[in-house]
Every structure is written in C-alpha cells, then in structure tokens.
Amino acid sequence: MRTIGAWFLLLMAGVASGSESILIKPGDCESGIHLVAQRAPLSDVLKRLADVLGFQLQLGDSSDSVIDTDISRQPPELIANLSPLDNLVVAQESNPDCPGKYRVVKVWVLPKGGQVSPRAATASLLPRPLTEAEKKLAREGEAMYRRAHGMPPTDEDGGTSQ
C-alpha cells in the first residue's frame, strides 16, 4: 500500500508541475528506481530525480537534450547512462539503507564535447610562421632524407644543387 501511495504522490506531483512526461517510481534495494520520460528535457528529468532521490544538481550546459526512456536501474547507473549525448558526472557514496548499493550525492552536467566557438576553431586551423629553430630542424631533416635516398642535396632556397 505504501508503494502505491508513493507512486500516486509522484504522479500527482508530475501533473501539478506541468511535466506530465516524467514519472519516477522509487523501488526497493534490488529493483532500483523506475523512470519513464517522454520527450522531456534532460534538465527537467534531472531536477525531478534530484527532488525524489535527494541529490545536488549542478547544471552547466545551456543545450538541453530530449529524453525518451522507460527504464529501471540503480540510481547511479540510471543517471550516468541517461543521455549518451551529454557529459554527466555522477558522485556516489555507499547507501546505508541498501548494503552493497550506492546512492547519488551530486550530479554535474558539463558542456558537451566539441563545443568550440567558430572563431576559436578557425584560428586553430590557420598556419603559424615557423621559428628559425623549426626551419633549421626541417632543413636538416630534409637533408638526411635526401642523403638516405640517394637524392642530391638542396641549396638554401629549396632548389637542388648539382
């Protein structure tokens, strides 16, 4: 009866908050929790999980993936695998209520990999002038290559000397 009451309260909390697409059913130590999310923003799903499971949430990414899932797992595993497109860090500790299991303490949503401004990306692709030391090393490397392959040496201007 207690489980049905908790499920009903969570269902009503979802309807009251306007996020009818997120349902969370706490289970026992073996079954973990059951999460159903339909077209729900990741940030909303994590906020609801934080409320139900009592962990701290640090949202650091402005983009919000959309989650569609119906899954039952232990909380740390469920959250860590919630969105393969996002960079989530899950801090966990032993759960005193469930020996051998872990509870979530804090979750960070970090910026997605590869998010670089177009200006920075373009600047990193532009060639830079070589230093004198790099030029000398390149000339020496080319001279060794040419000798090893029986080719004539080059002069200072890059032409071959005969």
Provide the residue ranges of all domains of the chain, joining segments of one domain with +: 2-110, 128-157
Give the integer Cα–Cα distance in Å for 43 and 145: 57
Between 9 and 112, whose confidence is greater? 112
Which pLDDT score, from 0 to 100, does residue 129 have? 81
Give the integer Cα–Cα distance in Å for 121 and 118: 5
Reported as a single tens digit per residue, the pLDDT across 104-158 is 999 998 887 655 444 444 555 556 787 898 888 889 889 988 998 899 988 765 5
Segment 32-41 shows an average pLDDT of 93
Give the integer Cα–Cα distance in Å for 78 and 48: 14
Give the integer Cα–Cα distance in Å for 89 and 44: 17
Give the CA dihedral 111, 46, 30, 10, nearest 10 degrees: -170
Q: Name the nearest CA neighbour of 37 among 5, 55, 56, 14.
A: 14
Whether pLDDT at 8 is above 70: no
